[in-house]
Structure 1
Amino acid sequence: MEHNWFFPPHDGVRLGDLAARLGAELADAAHADRIVRSVSPVSRAKDGDLCYILSRKFRAELETSEATAILCDRALAPLIPSKIAVLLSTRPHTAFARAGEILYPAAMRPEAMTSSPAGVAQGAYVDPQARLENNVSIEPMAVIGRGAEIGEGSRIGPGAIVGAGVRIGRDCTIAAGVTIQCALIGNNVIIHPGARIGQDGFGYAPGLRPGMIKIVQIGRVIIQDHVEIGANTTVDRGTMDDTVIGEGTKIDNQVQVGHNVRIGRHCGIVSGVGIAGSTRIGDGVMIGGAAGINGHITIGDGAQIAAMSGVVADIPPGEKYGGIPARPMRDFLRDMAEIAMRSSTRVQKKGGNDE
């Protein structure tokens, strides 16, 4: 791949120093002074690159790799050619993620679009009744509404709108084109471009004549510390209660979170998921892409939901569910096997009739 000027290589980190920072073990101390500057897939790694492997399927790629170092667990270390330094870790995937943060700190959250120093850039508007702590950056064309409060070290991207009375904590990044209203946001929150936070929930009552009457939406959105919300995701405010996203939860792009939904701590929600109103999601729940979650149900702590599932009823804590309607994974896999077997039998019978 040609040189990437968007994310240029790091000036360099000694392997010995990197191992110490990652809590990894350098298999050969003689390699401690080697320098890594970038991360790369094994297949195209060059001198100065750091890679990682999780299974033996990379064996063929290792034979031609020119990486400076590879992260892996002890069981895979014998596969690594002697010319490549080995960093041993019991959790190589996690260690590689931390190495990426060290080598590319600017890529960990949306970068500033302009070179303006901290403060209010020309072309931005901050209402006189808004309150900004020290070292807050407001980029051009951003709008900060009446009575809004933004904590120290936070940055509001170009074209973003922070509504009246919104509270944003410290060290937050609100990227370009985000809109936030009726929301309280904690510290170290990242919201990616185009996300919509705190708009009306979807609520209507039958009218006296054909049609529907809008139900007032007067709740809030509460986003706790260390949450990350992907591009073009929408989080509706509550009807009368609050919509809540718990500490450390990570939400992918293009997810819909309905009104009054409560999501626990440290959940992972992948792109395309739709969560209907008043759903309760426990801590540590993982939801695969394009799953649909019915409203007014409860998903227990630690549950896992397969991609493209349709969840219509409660899921107990710690269970794995999949399919439409979602059911325990063992039942879903058995049903899929039976469908595949019946389909194969029909094809065979049809082929026999053709003969």
Structure 2
Amino acid sequence: MPDTSFFARGAGLTVGEIASRAGAEVGEGTDPNAVLTGIGPLDRAGPDDCSFFDSPRYAPQLATTRAGCVFIAQKHLALLPEGLPHLIAGNVQAAFAKTGRSFYPAALLPDAITTTEGISPRAEIDPTAQIEDGATIEAFAVIGPGVKIGRGTIVSPGAVIARDCAIGRDCRIGAQVALSNTFLGNRVVLHPGVKIGQDGFGYVAGPSGLDKVVQIGRVIVQDDVEIGANTTIDRGAIRDTVIGEGTKIDNQVQVGHNVAIGRHCVIVAQVGISGSTTIGDGVMIGGQTGVNGHVTIGDGAQIAAVSAVSADVPAKSRWGGIPAKPVREWFREMRFLSELAMKGRSARNERDE
């Protein structure tokens, strides 16, 4: 059984309630009145846990699981051990995610680190700051002149909010976050160590060295954005850097100045986006990808992990590789190079290696 000491188990839900909330069908022979209190992976789940199966590669774990119930797709029912309670779902991962949210609502958003309610006497708050009732400012947070913070927002210890920044309602500002030249919408989540609004990287080569280009824009983060730990977002140079509503950015991502990211995008860890790039709505960018400056990635495009985007990407296309190109073209080139390498092998070459 998974250790959930940081997120306590509650009274639980019946299998029938889980099915109703997740939009799943109770499988044949499964007791809808059985009560489950947690979730877990197939190999660690116990009789009180709900788990899921979404790939034949995990068939050995499915065969030996002790889970109290398992989400499974119709196409995989033949792999199900006899007598194992199950729920049939069209989208197994989505159904399991809904169940997790039902069991552990406290895990959805970071909570206050201390037990302080309201404004801690150990926080440093400028008298001109405007903080709505119901906001929580924890110890050692620093709130600068003219800052506006909405109700329901939690500012964690060590966070620094520079002058004239505005933070909407029901936001979560993690420990050691630093904001300057930034406006946040409502329900924005910034995990620990996020830095937003610092200088973009702008220099002009001159006879005496590198001359700095002033960065006088802002960062606009719209509603329901979540930004992972230690991500950095530069303010604009002469226009704003914008993160569209609902976008989710993973840990350790770098977003350069003047970048415009659309709504409901997914940007995975260690992506670097150079200045003045435009990213449309619903774009997905895999981890450790680099995006060159001044390119446009169209709505709904997908970029494979560890790619280098150096040209405009059409909407709804799938690109990957270095340099990135349509995935079919990329796969064809990789297959050709592999076959060419195999043809070049000889007994002598093998010995030389």
Instruction: Provide the TM-score with structure 2 as the length reference.
Output: 0.95
* Alpha-carbon distance in structure 2 between the residues aligned to 1:123 and 1:353: 70
Q: Does 1:157 align with 2:156?
A: yes
Pairwise CA RMSD of aligned residues?
Answer: 1.7
* CA apart distance, 1:28: 4.4
2:301 touches 2:315 (CA, 8 Å); kept in 1?
yes
Which residue is 2:122 aligned to? 123
Q: Does 1:182 align with 2:181?
A: yes
* CA apart distance, 1:74: 2.0
Which residue is 1:135 aligned to? 134
* CA apart distance, 1:29: 8.0
Which residue is 1:110 aligned to? 110
Which residue is 1:217 aligned to? 215
1:77 touches 1:86 (CA, 8 Å); kept in 2?
no
Which residue is 1:247 aligned to? 245
* CA apart distance, 1:78: 4.0
1:51 touches 1:96 (CA, 8 Å); kept in 2?
yes
* CA apart distance, 1:87: 1.6
Q: Among residues 320, 333, 336, which one is paired with 2:334 in the alignment?
A: 336
Deviation track 1:290-339 (CA, whole Å, cap 9, x = no partner) reads: 11101011111111111111111101111111111111111111111122
* Alpha-carbon distance in structure 1 between the residues aligned to 2:29 and 2:131: 50
Deviation track 1:2-40 (CA, whole Å, cap 9, x = no partner) reads: 734223333311222222222222224861221111111
2:2 touches 2:44 (CA, 8 Å); kept in 1?
no
Which residue is 1:262 aligned to? 260
Deviation track 1:171-198 (CA, whole Å, cap 9, x = no partner) reads: 1111111111111111111111101011
Q: Does 1:147 align with 2:184?
A: no
Name whichever of 75-84 and 30-39 sits farther off. Answer: 75-84
Q: Does 1:54 align with 2:62?
A: no
Task: Tell me which amino acid in the other structure corresponds to 1:204.
Answer: Y
* Alpha-carbon distance in structure 2 between the residues aligned to 1:56 and 1:37: 26
2:219 touches 2:236 (CA, 8 Å); kept in 1?
yes
Which residue is 1:6 aligned to? 6
* CA apart distance, 1:351: 4.6
**Residues 314 and 295 of structure 1, relative CA distance in 2, 3 Å threshold:** same
* Alpha-carbon distance in structure 1 between the residues aligned to 2:188 and 2:282: 18
Which residue is 2:35 aligned to? 35
- Percent identity between the two aligned chains: 47
* CA apart distance, 1:71: 1.1
Deviation track 1:40-76 (CA, whole Å, cap 9, x = no partner) reads: 1112211111111112232221221110111122222
Q: Secondary structure at the match of 1:109?
A: coil
* Alpha-carbon distance in structure 2 between the residues aligned to 1:104 and 1:352: 56
* Alpha-carbon distance in structure 2 between the residues aligned to 1:274 and 1:48: 42
* Alpha-carbon distance in structure 2 between the residues aligned to 1:185 and 1:334: 44
Q: Secondary structure at the match of 1:197?
A: strand
2:29 touches 2:83 (CA, 8 Å); kept in 1?
no
Task: Tell me which amino acid in the other structure corresponds to 1:165.
Answer: D
Q: Among residues 313, 325, 346, which one is paired with 1:315 in the alignment?
A: 313
* Alpha-carbon distance in structure 2 between the residues aligned to 1:181 and 1:87: 48
Q: Secondary structure at the match of 1:44?
A: coil
* Alpha-carbon distance in structure 2 between the residues aligned to 1:234 and 1:338: 39
Task: Tell me which amino acid in the other structure corresponds to 1:329.
Answer: V
Q: Secondary structure at the match of 1:198?
A: strand
* Alpha-carbon distance in structure 2 between the residues aligned to 1:321 and 1:150: 41
Task: Tell me which amino acid in the other structure corresponds to 1:77.
Answer: L
Task: Tell me which amino acid in the other structure corresponds to 2:131.
Answer: L
* CA apart distance, 1:259: 0.3
Which residue is 1:80 aligned to? 80
Give the total of aligned pairs: 352
Which residue is 1:68 aligned to? 68
Q: Secondary structure at the match of 2:323?
A: coil
Which residue is 1:300 aligned to? 298
**Residues 303 and 3 of structure 1, relative CA distance in 2, 3 Å threshold:** closer
2:36 touches 2:50 (CA, 8 Å); kept in 1?
yes
**Residues 97 and 208 of structure 1, relative CA distance in 2, 3 Å threshold:** same
Name whichever of 5-14 and 157-166 sits farther off. Answer: 5-14
Deviation track 1:235-270 (CA, whole Å, cap 9, x = no partner) reads: 000001000011111101000000000001111111
* CA apart distance, 1:349: 4.7
Task: Tell me which amino acid in the other structure corresponds to 2:312.
Answer: D
Q: Secondary structure at the match of 2:319?
A: strand
* Alpha-carbon distance in structure 2 between the residues aligned to 1:247 and 1:4: 32
> Which ranges of structure 1 fall in alignment gaps of 5 or more residues?
none
Deviation track 1:61-96 (CA, whole Å, cap 9, x = no partner) reads: 122111011112222234333433222221111111
Q: Secondary structure at the match of 1:342?
A: helix
